[in-house]
């Protein structure tokens, strides 16, 4: 019993947990290794093995990545510059036409001569207006500059190249008269003569009708737009001053049609000079021979004008002047029964209808004349517009006042 009591009275021993290493398991060992030099831990003969280098990464060989096609690169360049989808579609269209025009040659193998040949073909054979040619030119310039990294500045459409033949038509606004008196006609002819001397343009055929004008001209060292601007602006200002009027005189811009040399030079010369007879301004062919407001009287030798290119027209009918005039007059007489000639309204098969309607300044093409020079002349002409000048669609009739209720 005594032993049991002693055991009960003995102080109880408590087991205290082991102190945890703040550095974690093996922390002290790692600390000692960090403090003690490596030559103390391991003899010089027993060096630690260097760390094993990481195995090199092995590239898996695959098929070569295909290069994007030319049109895909063009689309990417257009989209990166925030061009509209419509412009993207148009540019791709013109680039494809350019490639097929040169027998599916890559544009990288071509340059400025091929671009100029393509644009000239559009003007001479494709019946493409000047504004559309500028669109094609812009597409090709973008292709060479941003896709092929070969920027250049081509000469552009050859509508204003020296020696190009144009059929020009000018109409009065609302079909009204451009020439109210003989003084107006003399003023216009005098200004035309001055423009010929200043710009080098050659006038082969011309006719002044009451409400419109026809000119068959060959461009010189100045663009056609420069010659027409000088002619029309000066005449409109003088006309308004003489008749004490204000506003526009000409309807929109003049119309310029590119003409092929053969055989449309002779055909258009006859067609233009017969306009006064078809419009019943003169009675017959004999009166047309003496009519002073057309180039026909000059070709027949009745009204001499040094500024008109007589030799160039008569040269198409013969070398001798007398024989050439006889053949020319017979040629004109044979055209009387023909009447309307739709094939000549576009300058022949190679004409460019509307080439002077809307052309940006960069095209260097036949741009329209000034539209800020005058409005309607006194009086309105009837049955004097020729078939080459298309009629505007008729507008709505006058509004009638509704009847008053009973």
pLDDT digits (tens, 9 = 90+) for 93-146: 999 999 999 999 999 999 888 888 888 888 777 767 667 877 888 899 899 989
Please give the Cα distance from 249 to 375 (Å, whole number): 3
Q: What's the chain's Rg over C-alpha atoms?
A: 44
Average pLDDT, stretch 58-74? 74
Please give the Cα distance from 166 to 225 (Å, whole number): 11
The residues spanned by each domain of the chain are: 70-156, 165-363
Within 10 A of 201 (CB to CB), how many other CB atoms are there? 27
Q: How much of the chain, in percent, has pLDDT values that exceed 90?
A: 42
Please give the Cα distance from 165 to 366 (Å, whole number): 11
Task: Say whether pLDDT at 357 is over 50.
Answer: no
Give the residue ranges of DSSP H helices in 244-382. 264-273, 275-278, 285-290, 296-299, 310-314, 321-334
CA distances from 336 to 274, 279, 291, 330, 331 (A): 8, 12, 17, 10, 9
In which element (H, E) is residue 384 found?
none
| The pLDDT value given to residue 193 | 95
Least confident of 112-116, 137-141, 290-294, 402-406: 402-406
Within 10 A of 364 (CB to CB), how many other CB atoms are there? 19
- Residue 263 preceded by cis peptide, ω within 30: yes
| The pLDDT value given to residue 160 | 65
| The pLDDT value given to residue 276 | 93
Task: Say whether pLDDT at 273 is over 90.
Answer: yes
Task: Say whether pLDDT at 397 is over 60.
Answer: no
Q: Which residue has the higher pLDDT, 354 or 238?
A: 238
| The pLDDT value given to residue 383 | 36
Task: Say whether pLDDT at 263 is over 90.
Answer: no
Q: Say yes or no: do domains 70-156 and 165-363 share a fold.
A: no
Cβ(377)–Cβ(239) below 8 Å:
yes
| The pLDDT value given to residue 332 | 93
Q: Which residue has the higher pLDDT, 232 or 4?
A: 232
Which residues neighbour 273 within 8 Å (Cβ) at sequence distance 6 or greater?
205, 207, 288, 294, 295, 296, 299, 332
Mean pLDDT of the chain: 75
Is 70-156 assigned to CATH 1.10.150.130? Answer: yes
DSSP secondary structure of 197-252: HHH--EEEEEEE-SSEEEEEEE--SS-HHHHHHHHHHHHHHHHHHHHT--S--BSS
Q: Per-residue confidence at 68, pLDDT binned at 50, 70, 90?
A: confident
Homologous superfamily of domain range 165-363: Transposase IS200-like (3.30.70.1290)
| The pLDDT value given to residue 366 | 36
Average pLDDT, stretch 163-177? 89
Please give the Cα distance from 130 to 161 (Å, whole number): 13
| The pLDDT value given to residue 31 | 47
Range picked from 59-68, 119-128, 250-259, 272-281 for highest mean pLDDT: 272-281
Least confident of 64-73, 136-145, 220-229: 64-73
Edge-first strand order for the sheet with 165-171 is: 202-208, 212-218, 165-171, 255-258
Q: Which residue has the higher pLDDT, 290 or 39?
A: 290
Average pLDDT, stretch 191-202? 94
| The pLDDT value given to residue 100 | 94
Which residues neighbour 234 within 8 Å (Cβ) at sequence distance 6 or greater?
191
Least confident of 9-18, 322-331, 364-373: 364-373
| The pLDDT value given to residue 256 | 84
Please give the Cα distance from 189 to 363 (Å, whole number): 29
Q: pLDDT by residue (tens digit) across 17-33? A: 555 555 555 555 554 54
Q: Which residue has the higher pLDDT, 278 or 44?
A: 278
CA distances from 297 to 206, 249, 368, 374 (A): 10, 27, 28, 30
Q: Which residue has the higher pLDDT, 22 or 301?
A: 301
Average pLDDT, stretch 379-401? 41
| The pLDDT value given to residue 225 | 87
Q: Which residue has the higher pLDDT, 226 or 12?
A: 226
Task: Say whether pLDDT at 194 is over 50.
Answer: yes
Q: Which residue has the higher pLDDT, 95 or 34?
A: 95
- Site of tokens 């002077």: 356
Task: Say whether pLDDT at 44 is over 80.
Answer: no
């Amino acid at each position: 019993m005594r032993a049991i009591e002693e055991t009960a009275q003995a102080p109880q021993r408590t087991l205290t947990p082991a102190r945890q290493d703040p550095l974690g398991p093996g922390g002290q060992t790692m600390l000692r290794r960090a403090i003690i030099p490596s030559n103390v831990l391991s003899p010089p003969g027993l060096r630690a093995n260097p760390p094993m280098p990481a195995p090199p990464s092995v590239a898996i060989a695959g098929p070569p990545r295909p290069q994007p096609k030319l049109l895909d690169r063009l689309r990417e360049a257009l989209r990166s510059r925030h061009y509209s989808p419509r412009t993207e579609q148009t540019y791709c269209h013109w680039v494809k036409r350019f490639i097929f025009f040169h027998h599916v040659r890559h544009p990288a193998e071509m340059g400025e001569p091929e671009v100029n040949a393509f644009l000239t073909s559009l003007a001479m054979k494709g019946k493409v207006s000047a504004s559309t040619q500028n669109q094609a030119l812009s597409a090709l310039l973008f292709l060479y500059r941003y896709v092929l990294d070969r920027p250049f500045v081509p000469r552009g459409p050859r509508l204003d190249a020296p020696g190009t033949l144009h059929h020009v038509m000018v109409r009065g606004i609302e079909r009204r008269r451009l020439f109210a008196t003989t003084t107006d006609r003399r003023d216009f002819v005098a200004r035309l003569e001055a423009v010929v001397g200043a710009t080098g343009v050659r006038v082969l055929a011309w006719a002044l009708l009451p409400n419109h004008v026809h000119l068959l001209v060959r461009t010189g060292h100045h663009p056609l737009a420069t010659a027409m601007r000088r002619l029309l602006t000066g005449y409109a200002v003088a006309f308004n001053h003489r008749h004490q009027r204000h506003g526009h005189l000409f309807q929109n811009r003049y119309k310029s049609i590119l003409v092929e040399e053969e055989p449309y030079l002779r055909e258009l010369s006859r067609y233009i000079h017969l306009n006064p007879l078809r419009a019943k301004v003169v009675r017959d062919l004999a009166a047309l021979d003496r009519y002073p407001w057309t180039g026909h009287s000059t070709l027949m030798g009745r009204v001499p004008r040094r500024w008109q290119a007589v030799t160039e027209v008569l040269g198409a009918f013969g070398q001798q002047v007398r024989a050439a005039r006889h053949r020319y007059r017979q040629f004109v007489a044979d055209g009387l029964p023909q009447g309307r000639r739709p094939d000549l309204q576009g300058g022949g098969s190679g004409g460019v209808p509307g080439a002077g309607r809307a052309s940006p300044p960069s095209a260097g093409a036949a741009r329209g004349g000034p539209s800020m020079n005058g409005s309607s002349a006194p009086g309105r002409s009837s049955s004097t517009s020729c078939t080459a000048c298309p009629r505007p669609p008729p507008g709505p009739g006058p509004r009638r006042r509704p009847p008053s209720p009973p």
